[in-house]
Amino acid sequence: MVEAERDEGRVEALAVEQRLSVLRQALGPELYETVLAVRRAEAELFAMQTDAEVIEAVRWRY
């Protein structure tokens, strides 16, 4: 991996960490963990599907 790519990955990871920290503070630990659990389950459920299939599956769900 090129050093610039590694640095870009670190910057992105820090940005994600910061957003998650803000979300955790806003929601509180119980709701935050629940949101993460749902997102992980969705990622696993749709891992092998195309974007179009995911859109079709969830577009009118909520």
* Domain residue limits, the chain: 3-58
Nearest to 24 by CA among 14, 35, 11: 35
Strand extents, DSSP E, the chain: none
What is residue 11's predicted lDDT score, i.e. its pLDDT?
Answer: 82
Whole-angstrom Cα distance, residue 62 to residue 59? Answer: 8
What is residue 2's predicted lDDT score, i.e. its pLDDT?
Answer: 67
Whole-angstrom Cα distance, residue 6 to residue 10? Answer: 6
Task: Tell me the pLDDT tens digit for each residue of 4-49.
Answer: 777 788 888 888 888 888 989 999 999 989 988 998 999 999 999 9
Whole-angstrom Cα distance, residue 60 to residue 30? Answer: 27
Higher pLDDT, 19 or 2: 19
pTM of the model: 0.62
Give the three-class secondary structure for 55.
helix
